[in-house]
């Protein structure tokens, strides 16, 4: 989509998707600044605005990738999650939704279930930010609770929709939280901070199959309980 083309909120919602292949075209920092300035209008309980972000490109972004790669090389020993990315013992309907989207993603790339190596390689591409030239790490004070984490989510979605408006693409990536301590230390965030998620930002590789499959959603009957209408 051409940058600055007028786009409605509905259109931006439909156009946004998690992009998992980026071109190496650089991102204009002035555009990012406009996006973050507008995203400051995101609501938050008590107007706390608990979100904080580090935005990286070039050498500082490479330093994080290198530091995380060193942890990954340690295998399971290297994991440092500071929160549960999913609830322990996730049940249906949520487990099926999670499984379903993974299968659809691998199907788009023609990687069958038996191809464990292929699936792992695709997952590990997360730790290159799928080739994005810009990475945003979203964090907040460790004292914040579920309401403030939901505020971070509202800010994140605002950023993602604004990026669409500017012709950019993104992929939220909580997989980085598996190495949260390393990222905190590499970015000098301080122990009072907790990393929520990464957000890969760049121009989508429009030809990549991984950016083209239809991402399912459940019907309204599963989520909305109308009463008194
Ligand atoms: C907070 C958050 C973290 C996510 N983390 C990852 C991730 O680590 N890796 C990944 O490939 N996708 C990640 N996703 C993308 C989800 O899989 C995706 O949003 C969901 O499947 C719906 O697809 P869509 O975003 O393309 O509409 C994340 C999404 C959110 C909101």
- What percent of the chain is predicted at pLDDT more than 90? 97
pLDDT for residue 44: 98
Q: Helix crossing, 94-108 with 116-124: angle to 10°?
A: 100
Nearest CA-CA partner of 146 in 94, 96, 84: 84
Site to probe by mutation for ligand 1, drawn from 16, 18, 99 as the one with most ligand atoms within 8 Å of Cβ, is 18
pLDDT above 60 for 31: yes
Q: How many residues does the chain have?
A: 229
Nearest CA to ligand 1 atom 4: 173
Q: Helix crossing, 146-165 with 29-39: angle to 10°?
A: 140
Q: Who's near 20: CB < 8 A, 6+ residues apart?
A: 105, 125, 130, 171, 208, 210, 211
Condensed to tens digits (0 to 9), the pLDDT of residues 149-180 reads: 999 999 999 999 999 999 999 999 999 999 99
d(Cα 14, Cα 10) in Å, to the nearest integer?
Answer: 6
Condensed to tens digits (0 to 9), the pLDDT of residues 196-222 reads: 999 999 999 999 999 999 999 999 999
pLDDT above 60 for 1: no
**Residue 60 CB coordination number (10 Å):** 13
Alpha helices in 115-213 (DSSP H): 116-124, 146-165, 180-186
pLDDT for residue 6: 78
Nearest CA to ligand 1 atom 19: 18
Residue 174: CB within 6 Å of ligand 1? yes
Residue 197: CB within 6 Å of ligand 1? yes
pLDDT above 70 for 4: no
Q: Return the SS3 of 60.
A: helix
What domains lie within the chain, and their CATH numbers? 9-88+129-209 (3.40.109.10)
For tokens 């939704």, name the residue.
97
Mean pLDDT value of segment 16-24 = 97
2 pLDDT tier (thresholds 50, 70, 90)? low
């Amino acid at each position: 989509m051409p940058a600055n083309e007028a786009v409605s909120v509905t259109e931006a919602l439909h156009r946004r998707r998690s992009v998992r292949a980026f071109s190496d075209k650089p991102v204009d920092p002035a555009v990012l600044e406009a996006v973050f300035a507008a995203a400051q209008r995101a609501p938050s309980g008590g107007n706390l605005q608990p979100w904080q972000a580090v935005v990286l490109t070039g050498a500082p972004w490479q330093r994080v990738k290198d530091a995380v790669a060193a942890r990954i090389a340690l295998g399971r020993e290297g994991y440092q999650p500071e929160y549960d990315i999913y609830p322990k013992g996730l049940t249906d309907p949520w487990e099926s939704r999670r499984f379903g989207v993974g299968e659809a993603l691998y199907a788009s790339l023609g990687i069958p279930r038996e191809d464990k190596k292929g699936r792992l390689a695709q997952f590990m591409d997360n730790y290159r930010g799928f080739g994005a030239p810009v990475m945003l790490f979203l964090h907040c004070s460790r004292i914040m609770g579920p309401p403030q984490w939901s505020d971070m989510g509202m800010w994140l979605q605002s950023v993602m929709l604004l990026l669409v408006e500017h012709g950019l693409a993104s992929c939220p990536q909580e997989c980085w939280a598996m190495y949260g301590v390393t990222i905190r230390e590499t970015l000098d965030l301080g122990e009072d901070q907790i990393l929520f998620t990464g957000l890969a930002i760049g121009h989508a590789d429009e030809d990549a199959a991984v950016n083209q499959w239809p991402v399912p959603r459940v019907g309204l009957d599963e989520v909305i309980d109308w009463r008194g209408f």
